[in-house]
Amino acid sequence: MATFGRALLIVAFALTLYGIGASLYGAIAHRRAWVDSGRRAVYSLAGVLTVAFVVLEAAFLRNDFSFSVVATHSSTTTPTGYKMAAAWSSQEGSLLLWVWLLSLWSSLVLYLTRRRVREIAPYATAVLLGFGAFFLMLVIFFASPFKTLANPPLQGTGLDALLLHPAMMIHPPMLYSGYTLCAVPFAFAIGALITRQVNVEWVQITRRFALGAWLFLGIGIILGARWSYTELGWGGYWGWDAVENASLLPWLTMTAYIHSIMIQEKRGMLKVWNATLVLATGTLAILGTFLVRSGILDSIHAFGASTLGVPFLILIGVMIVGSIGLVVGRRGILRSEHSLDSFFSREAIFIVQNIVLVGMAFVVFWGTFFPLISEAVTGTKTSVGPPWFDRYTVPLALVLVVLTGVGPLIAWRRATLANLRRNFVVPLLVALVALVALLAIGAGDQPKALLMFVAAAFVIGCVGQELFRGTRARQTMSKEAAPVALVSLVRRNRRRYGGYIAHVGFAVLLLAVAASSSFQHAKDISLTPGQSTRIDGYTVRYTQATAAATAQKISLGARVDISKAGKHVTTLRTTRNFYPSQDTSLGIVGRFFNGDSDSVVGLRAGVGRDLWTVINPDLKPLQPIINQGDATFRTAMTTLVRNGGSSASVNKLYQLRDTAIAGITQRFITHPWAADFRILVSPLASWIWIGAIIIALGGLIAIWPMPHGAARRVRAGYAARVARDLARS
């Protein structure tokens, strides 16, 4: 099957080369048949790569350890779901996933646009296939997922213990979907610039794909954050790690892009800016992929150092030089059709919002790459930590939240005093009430958090007012009940209200980040069973030690009761799992306690606050008995081998060893000693995930296609509203 897989990759590579050639020849020679053939090469590519990916997944599911990646990333004891996910836990498999997803998205966009933008599409096809060819070259020549072993082992190494988390099954495919979707608007922008077709059509065609990229990247990022929240040593839900930052960069610039294209659509402005943004986003998506794989920056989430850095650098260099060359070369036809009339206008607010987003992206970029920059300048690698990132991103995020409220309400072209009064009095009153209430409950000692709360209240006020007005107007027109009118309102203008909903989610998410980071209580303490401690009004009692031993792992843990004012609140269970080491030089018993380990956090998520705890049991008290076990079994094994013991005897010895290990493990319960705990009380932390769900919901509503007639009516209605705004000013 590996040979079949390799053959599929070669066929796929040949298809990309053919498709590029056919598309470009068709475009230059105006031969429609060749262009169509190039597009069909993309469909075929998707088909071939689907089969290749199925072959790889089948190898994981069949425990076919003749595949090198299966032997090193899975085992017979790996649960089925994780076996499938193990395919992309490897460098090789993840590259195949990348190019497979790219082929699927490319097929979708080219199918949907097969009768539109006929001049741009062949070039976009060539660019998309160019990306495909690059990644196929990597999986054929540098990191083949179909590499085989001459002597396959009977058992594989298994998936890294840290990756045994449900998010592993969905987080990487989401991120890769986001990254690969970024290539779609990038490709069409290149096509538009080459063919000088820089009108708004290519922007409208790729808008949903840009939104899809933004949505998938966002979901991927938030799933990663959630995973990190429950993983010890990954810096909580956000640690400003290089790989985390790499995924945030294209998300920030894509956020800027999906807002600024509205100005190009409505007023024919910001063409250079939009082209630059979308090209930068495509490049940053590749940069993110490169960062995870090159090993050039220290990250807890990166693949090991590899030889893929140079090819990626060449690709990024080509993308940057090509993008700059095209934008500079086409600057004449990218001129704005209008200029900014007033700073008090929606255009101006969108521009400021774009500057803030790009400024944020620059801060994140600079901080992420600072170790490399400083080494190049001073010869010393210097890194900046979370406080440096927070210093810049917190004020920028505050401005951004305020703008998410102002942007949708302010008039196009020039806002009048009446417009400002009509739209902002209520939200400002909501913000004022929030400020007074927060000061009254003593939130004033955290000014940044306080400002974020007030800004979020302002945004919720803005959007709430818009929804209320829209619903009321619809009720007046159609006599519908309020909930029905609200749903109809959102359904009939999905882009607009989807955006508003996403804005509320964004405000809620940042509010929760501010609350959970500024008002978090943390305690590190050593406790023995029966002992208790207090944190933020809660009494935390280590009630019972727990222990378990299986073939896969040893688990030492604790049951922790949490109460407040004498009333039981919850019981948390936290464990630390120890996985057997592969190092055969370790003792026969000791290797079960000296392998990889991971922590299972005890978490009670609540609307008001999260209660979070993790145990770090000290194995030192077990060490003498482990050493004794090692010595005893070493002697027994030596004796058995010397006397030519049967395999039944060896198995009996291993059974005795298993019993001994289970006995040693039980000492954690029968002779308990102190274990270290970290306890956190994080206010509103759950709202981070709720905010993210609201953003995703808003994104889905905005992306969901409307029936053609309804869309036309909405466009007409919106055009009338814009015209009213313009006429008023």
In the region spanning residues 300 to 319, those forming contacts with another protein, defined by CB under 8 A, are 300, 302-305
**Residue from 33, 647, 708, 709 binding another protein (CB under 8 A):** 647
**Residue from 24, 95, 215, 232 binding another protein (CB under 8 A):** 232
- Name the helix (H) or strand (E) containing 101: helix 91-112
Reading the block at residue 313, the tokens are: 């650098």
Residue 325 touching another protein (CB under 8 A): no
Site string for another protein, 36-75 (x = CB under 8 A): --------------------------------x--xxx--
Q: Is 384 left (phi over 0), alpha (psi -120 to 50) or beta?
A: beta
Residue 413 touching another protein (CB under 8 A): no
Burial class (CB in 10 A: 0-12, 13-18, 19+), 483: exposed
**Listed ranges 207-215, 319-327, 375-383, 436-444: which one lies at the site for another protein (CB under 8 A):** 375-383
In the complex with another protein, the residue whose CB is nearer, 121 or 163, is 163
In the complex with another protein, the residue whose CB is nearer, 468 or 654, is 654
Beta carbon of residue 329, minimum distance to another protein (angstroms, whole number): 21
**Residue from 26, 145, 367, 461 binding another protein (CB under 8 A):** 367
Q: How far apart, in whole angstroms, are the C-alpha atoms of residue 183 and residue 106?
A: 9
Closest to 615 (Cα-Cα) out of 698, 502, 526: 526
**CA distances (Å), origin 294, targets 214, 371, 395:** 24, 15, 32
Q: How far apart, in whole angstroms, are the C-alpha atoms of residue 600 and residue 166?
A: 13
Reading the block at residue 599, the tokens are: 């922590």
Q: How far apart, in whole angstroms, are the C-alpha atoms of residue 335 and residue 227?
A: 45
Residues 253-272 that bind another protein (CB under 8 A): none
In the complex with another protein, the residue whose CB is nearer, 1 or 662, is 662
**Residue from 318, 481, 651, 671 binding another protein (CB under 8 A):** 651
In the complex with another protein, the residue whose CB is nearer, 232 or 451, is 232
Residue 655 touching another protein (CB under 8 A): yes
Residue 635 touching another protein (CB under 8 A): no
In the complex with another protein, the residue whose CB is nearer, 243 or 275, is 243
Query: What are the start-end ranges of the H helices in 575-707?
Result: 623-642, 647-670, 686-703
Closest to 603 (Cα-Cα) out of 613, 618, 595: 613
286 Cβ neighbours under 8 A, 6+ residues apart: 179, 312, 315, 316, 319
Beta carbon of residue 610, minimum distance to another protein (angstroms, whole number): 17
Site string for another protein, 77-106 (x = CB under 8 A): ------------xxx---------------
Beta carbon of residue 17, minimum distance to another protein (angstroms, whole number): 30
476 Cβ neighbours under 8 A, 6+ residues apart: none
Residue 226 touching another protein (CB under 8 A): no
| Residue 608, number of CB atoms within 10 A of its CB | 9
Closest to 537 (Cα-Cα) out of 601, 606, 611, 445: 611
**Listed ranges 30-38, 100-108, 485-493, 649-657: which one lies at the site for another protein (CB under 8 A):** 649-657
**Listed ranges 185-193, 264-272, 397-405, 650-658: which one lies at the site for another protein (CB under 8 A):** 650-658
In the complex with another protein, the residue whose CB is nearer, 19 or 367, is 367
Residue 649 touching another protein (CB under 8 A): no
Positive or negative: CA dihedral 107, 111, 115, 116 = negative
Residue 642 touching another protein (CB under 8 A): no
**Residue from 313, 320, 625, 662 binding another protein (CB under 8 A):** 662
**CA distances (Å), origin 514, targets 357, 552, 685:** 19, 40, 9
Residue 374 touching another protein (CB under 8 A): yes
Beta carbon of residue 91, minimum distance to another protein (angstroms, whole number): 7
Residues 384-403 that bind another protein (CB under 8 A): 384-385, 387-388, 391-392
596 Cβ neighbours under 8 A, 6+ residues apart: 160, 161, 162, 578, 579, 581
Q: How many residues bind another protein (CB under 8 A)?
A: 84
Residues 423-482 that bind another protein (CB under 8 A): none
**Listed ranges 46-54, 126-134, 364-372, 404-412: which one lies at the site for another protein (CB under 8 A):** 364-372
Q: What are phi and psi of 545, to 5 degrees?
A: -80, 150
In the complex with another protein, the residue whose CB is nearer, 133 or 252, is 252
In the complex with another protein, the residue whose CB is nearer, 68 or 125, is 68
Residue 636 touching another protein (CB under 8 A): no
In the complex with another protein, the residue whose CB is nearer, 424 or 677, is 677
Reading the block at residue 702, the tokens are: 């905005």
Site string for another protein, 612-631 (x = CB under 8 A): ----x-x-x-----------
Residues 284-303 that bind another protein (CB under 8 A): 295, 298, 300, 302-303
Residues 490-529 that bind another protein (CB under 8 A): 524-526
Beta carbon of residue 223, minimum distance to another protein (angstroms, whole number): 17
Cβ atoms of 2 and 66 closer than 8 Å: yes
Reading the block at residue 621, the tokens are: 């008290």
Residues 545-584 that bind another protein (CB under 8 A): 546-551, 580, 582, 584
**Residue from 678, 711, 713, 728 binding another protein (CB under 8 A):** 678
Positive or negative: CA dihedral 74, 75, 80, 81 = negative
Q: How far apart, in whole angstroms, are the C-alpha atoms of residue 244 and residue 221?
A: 7
Beta carbon of residue 195, minimum distance to another protein (angstroms, whole number): 29
In the complex with another protein, the residue whose CB is nearer, 119 or 630, is 630
Reading the block at residue 467, the tokens are: 């929804």
**Listed ranges 15-23, 52-60, 357-365, 502-510: which one lies at the site for another protein (CB under 8 A):** 357-365
Beta carbon of residue 166, minimum distance to another protein (angstroms, whole number): 17
401 Cβ neighbours under 8 A, 6+ residues apart: 452, 455, 456, 458, 459, 506, 507, 510
Residues 163-192 that bind another protein (CB under 8 A): 163
In the complex with another protein, the residue whose CB is nearer, 84 or 384, is 384
- Name the helix (H) or strand (E) containing 622: none
Task: For residue 329, give the 3-state DSSP assignment.
Answer: helix
Residue 149 touching another protein (CB under 8 A): yes
Strands 521-527 and 602-604, by their bridges, are unpaired
Residue 676 touching another protein (CB under 8 A): yes
Q: How far apart, in whole angstroms, are the C-alpha atoms of residue 181 and residue 164?
A: 27
Reading the block at residue 527, the tokens are: 């406790």
Closest to 203 (Cα-Cα) out of 250, 262, 253: 262
Q: How far apart, in whole angstroms, are the C-alpha atoms of residue 187 and residue 470?
A: 38
